Amino acid sequence: MKLSIQESLEVFGFETLTDLQEKRIKDVYHELAKKYHPDKGGNAGDFIRLREAYAVLKAAIINPAYQNGGWEKVREAQANGSSGPESFNRTQDSDSLQEQLNKYKQAYEQMLKQIKDYEQIINNQILVINRTTSSVNGKIDFFNQQLDNLKIALDKSLESLERKYKYKWWELVVPAKKLDKNQYITYYNQLIGEYNSEYRKINDKFQNDLLNTYQMSFNLFIDMLKQT
């Protein structure tokens, strides 16, 4: 027996497939099966026709591709090793599983890429930190060397000033021209003022160099974070 979609609808008393649900088909099938089943006093031919109509409608509801082929489409699917709508469900499940596996694979590959990117960023940050540390240590060493040189120069100047102010025992025999107290204080304050002025210049330059170094490193860190 070869039933079309329209013939199957007539068996169930339906007019169209539109908005027809599988549950509705099943409910009507059970009701008609009680009527047509041979054990219930029904006609065997009508019962077979009912089962075929049920298979056609169920297949058409699940897979729209069956709608133009009716029972022949279902039989063709069975001949190819499938079982109509059940096979279609399994195919759907298989495709859905493959899609999920592909999504997980893509997510995993993306995660690996992000890890590598983060590792590269961390390595770059460590490199920046090491370079910054090296640069800062170099500037500190240079700053301390400048202060040492400035202190040495001050000590020499003060020592020379002392010689111009204080007498040695042999200079008592042959007096030499010396600075008086007021002159000594004036020159002393001048030397200290020059020392303080030079110290401020060295210190200000040192502080600005450090600030620029840290600012440059900070900007590099910000650029790295923008890449994540």
Spatial separation of the C-alpha atoms in residues 23 and 162, rounded to whole Å? 115
CA angle in degrees (0–180, nearest 5) for 218-223-228: 125
How much is the pLDDT for 173?
54
Check: CB of residue 22 under 8 Å from CB of residue 61: yes
pLDDT for residue 168: 60
Q: What is the pLDDT of residue 141?
A: 93
pTM of the model: 0.46
Please give the pLDDT value at position 92: 47
How far apart, in Å, do the first and last CA atoms of the chain sit? 66
Amino acid 43: pLDDT: 86
């509705």: which residue's tokens?
Answer: 24
Classify 127 in phi/psi space as left (phi over 0), alpha (psi -120 to 50) or beta: alpha
For the chain, which ranges sit under pLDDT 50?
69-71, 78, 81-93
Amino acid, single-letter form, for residue 2: K
Of 25, 13, 96, nearest in space to 61 by CA: 25
**DSSP-assigned letters across all residues of 98-126:** HHHHHHHHHHHHHHHHHHHHHHHHHHHHH
For residue 2, give the nearest of 72, 73, 85 by alpha carbon: 72
CB 51 within 8 A of CB 34: no
56 CB contacts (<8 Å, ≥6 apart)?
3, 4, 5, 8, 66, 70, 71, 74
Digit-coded pLDDT (tens) for 7-54: 889 999 998 877 778 888 999 999 999 888 888 888 888 889 999 989
pLDDT of residue 76: 59
**Alpha-carbon span 14 to 9, nearest angstrom:** 5
Q: Are 65 and 73 in contact (CB under 8 A)?
A: yes
